[in-house]
Structure 1
């Protein structure tokens, strides 16, 4: 299971957690994914979509 949006491809991002004393530790940011039933190629299908794509209307929900 890839933590990746099926619409825009947004995935895990990496960087540093920086403390008050300026120590650097590796950390990751994961996309806010939701499993929704959407219309894909004319038929309903369950896909993983980030909330940014849901809000912007890039996904047609199947109710």
Structure 2
């Protein structure tokens, strides 16, 4: 099993006001959240488990 960690806890202050209610890793790029793009790349690299290191608006990442 390969494990990866995504650092998704930043405030994203330089992207305000877009990040006032949505954490930067959940902002869409090409209709997908940034984090989803990262997860797809991790999967293609053989990563089978991913840990999200959250802080700001952490509840957004709860399934």
TM-score after normalising by structure 1: 0.26
The structure whose residues are more often helix, as a share, is 2
Q: TM-score, normalised by structure 2?
A: 0.26
Larger radius of gyration: 1
Higher relative strand content: 1
